[in-house]
């Protein structure tokens, strides 16, 4: 759940609804940037950017829940996150995106290089759609963070966009 410009109260209200949907569908519920909200909602984990709280402090708040770390396009950030026992490493943006203005451009090479260092799951982020997602899966992305293709797709409604992405 990523709501940058919502009040804490609205995040709680929306988050409770999302949590029910996730539980019903056996899907992990990850909160962006906010370990305190993660704890409050009893979410499955928290995603931390480089300017957010560090993993050690977040663990004090949420305990043994999932903590993922943004690594942009950096081996150095990935090594630091691995050392701090991050549960997953997120890289991107791989492609141009309108969801948020990317400050970093990641390449397939980063996925392949980091996979040699760790078994920690790797997440690919940024501009992922039906035309490019397979290249990431075939090059060591364990998971894909896809937003615009699903929620802002002019051709498919969200459920159909997700179904289109399912691997055969």
What is the pLDDT confidence band of residue 168, given thresholds at 50, 70 and 90? Answer: very low
Within-domain flag for 137? yes
47 belongs to a structural domain:
no
The confidence band for 96, taking pLDDT boundaries of 50, 70 and 90, is confident
Within a domain: 60: no
Is residue 3 one of the residues assigned to a domain? no
- Work out the number of other CB atoms within 10 angstroms of the CB of residue 116: 7
Structure-token pair, residue 46: 């928290």
- Mean of pLDDT values over 152-157: 92
**Contact residues for 161 (Cβ-Cβ < 8 A; gap 6+):** 130, 149, 150, 153
- Mean pLDDT rounded to a whole number for the chain: 93
Q: What percent of the chain has pLDDT over 90?
A: 83
Residue 23 in domain = no
pLDDT digit string, tens, across residues 126-152 = 999 999 999 999 999 999 999 899 999
Q: What is the CATH number of the domain that holds 78?
A: 3.20.20.70
Q: Does residue 3 have a pLDDT over 90? A: no
Task: Report pLDDT for 104.
Answer: 83
pLDDT of residue 167: 60
Bridge-partner residues for 69, per DSSP? 48, 89
Q: Backbone phi, then psi, for 9, in 5-degree steps? A: -60, -45
Question: Which DSSP string do the residues of 11-24 spell out, in sequence order?
Answer: HHHHHHHHHHHHHH
Is residue 106 included in any domain, yes or no?
A: yes
Q: What is the pLDDT of residues 25-80, one digit of tens each?
A: 999 999 999 999 999 999 999 999 999 999 999 999 999 999 999 999 999 999 99
Query: Based on the structure, what is the number of domains in the chain?
Result: 1
Identify the CA nearest to 114 among candidates 69, 146, 59: 69
Residue 20 included in any domain: no
102 is in which domain, residue-wise?
65-165
Q: Does residue 22 sit within a domain? A: no
Nearest partner of 89 among 39, 34, 143, judged by Cα? 143
């Amino acid at each position: 759940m990523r709501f940058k410009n919502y009040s804490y109260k609205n995040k709680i209200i929306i988050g409770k609804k999302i949590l029910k949907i996730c539980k019903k569908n056996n899907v992990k519920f990850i909160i962006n940037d906010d370990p305190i909200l993660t704890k409050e909602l009893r979410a499955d984990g928290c995603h931390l950017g480089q300017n957010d709280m560090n993993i050690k402090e977040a663990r004090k708040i949420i305990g043994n829940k999932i903590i993922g770390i943004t690594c942009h396009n950096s081996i150095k950030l990935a090594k630091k996150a691995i050392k701090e026992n991050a549960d997953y490493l997120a890289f991107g943006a791989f492609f141009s995106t309108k969801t948020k203005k990317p400050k970093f451009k990641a390449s397939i090479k980063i996925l392949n290089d980091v996979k040699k260092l760790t078994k920690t799951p790797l997440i690919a982020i940024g501009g992922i759609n039906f035309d490019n997602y397979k290249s990431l899966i075939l090059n060591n992305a364990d998971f894909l963070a896809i937003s615009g293709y699903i929620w802002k797709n002019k051709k498919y409604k969200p459920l159909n966009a997700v179904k289109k992405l399912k691997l055969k």
